[in-house]
């Protein structure tokens, strides 16, 4: 695949497909590498390109049986992760103000500037939750569409699965 130029085309397609998690499995032991038909620096360069340029992880296995096991383990781990509720990654600490801003930014169409405007105008998140859509719309940068979205996020039962205005 490296010699005939297919490797990078194949890896490029894998990297572009965001629907599936993919990896490249390099099968065989290090003793086999000197017998490859390409020079070691070219082989290493190909691995570097696959991982650092295309962002496709490379897993190693010694045998076909080990490759099969890796595939099974990876599938199980991805299934377990998919079953878990998503968690916000990153630092959990910080000031109360930062936490309030992040809380508001979880609402669709509310970024840092709108979250700041909401807190500046209405004070605290509980006040924003308890404010009607008309008052929210008067906050600088909010307007009626975003106000309706905020109000629905705060007051509508999520089980109804309704779409938010302006969110595709």
The domain that holds 52 is classified in CATH as: 3.40.50.10130
Please check whether residues 51 and 120 belong to one and the same domain: no
**DSSP category for residue 141:** T
15 plus 58 within the same structural domain: yes
For residue 14, pLDDT over 80 is answered with yes
CB atoms closer than 10 angstroms to residue 68 = 12
Residues 102 and 71 reside in one and the same domain: no
Res 61: pLDDT: 93
The residue among 83, 107, 136 that closes a domain is 83
68 and 130, same structural domain?
Answer: no
Token pair 């695949």 is at which residue? Answer: 1
Query: How many domains is the chain built from?
Result: 2
Residue 107: which residues within 8 A CB-CB, separation 6 or more? 149, 150, 153
- pTM higher than 0.75 for the full model? no
Domain shared by 113 and 57, yes or no: no
Residue 63 belongs to some domain of the structure: yes
Return the top range by mean pLDDT from 12-26, 27-41, 153-167.
12-26
pLDDT higher than 60, residue 84: yes
Cα–Cα distance for residue pair 76/70, rounded to 1 Å = 10
**Could you tell me the residue range of the domain that residue 12 belongs to?**
6-83
Lowest-confidence pick of 76-80, 101-105, 138-142: 76-80
Residues 14 and 79 in one domain: yes
Q: What is the CATH number of the domain that holds 104?
A: 1.10.150.20
Which of 31-40, 45-54, 95-104, 147-156 shows the lowest mean pLDDT across its residues?
A: 31-40
Question: Could you tell me if 103 and 78 lie in one domain?
Answer: no
What is the torsional sign of CA 87, 93, 95, 96? positive
Co-location of 101 and 122 in the same domain:
yes
- Rounded-to-integer distance, Cα 168 and Cα 152, Å: 15
Q: What are phi and psi of 60, to 5 degrees?
A: -120, 145
Instruction: Write phi, then psi, for 61 (nearest 5 degrees).
Output: -140, 155
- DSSP code of 130? T
Residues 6+ positions from 108 with CB-CB distance below 8 Å: 149, 153, 164, 166, 167
In a domain, 61, yes or no: yes
């Amino acid at each position: 695949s490296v010699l005939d130029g297919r490797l990078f085309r194949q890896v490029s397609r894998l990297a572009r497909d965001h629907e599936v998690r993919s990896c490249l499995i390099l099968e065989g032991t290090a003793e086999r590498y000197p017998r490859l038909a390409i020079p070691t620096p070219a082989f290493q360069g190909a691995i570097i390109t696959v991982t650092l340029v295309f962002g496709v992880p490379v897993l190693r296995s010694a045998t076909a049986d080990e490759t099969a096991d890796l595939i099974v383990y990876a599938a199980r781990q991805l299934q377990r992760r998919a079953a878990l509720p998503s968690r916000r990654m990153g630092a959990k600490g910080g000031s109360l103000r930062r936490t309030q801003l992040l809380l508001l930014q979880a609402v669709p169409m509310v970024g840092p500037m709108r979250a700041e405007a909401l807190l500046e105008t209405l004070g605290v998140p509980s006040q924003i939750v308890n404010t009607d859509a008309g008052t929210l719309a008067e906050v600088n940068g909010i307007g009626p569409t975003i106000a309706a979205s905020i109000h629905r996020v705060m007051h509508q039962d999520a089980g109804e699965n309704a779409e938010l205005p302006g969110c595709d």
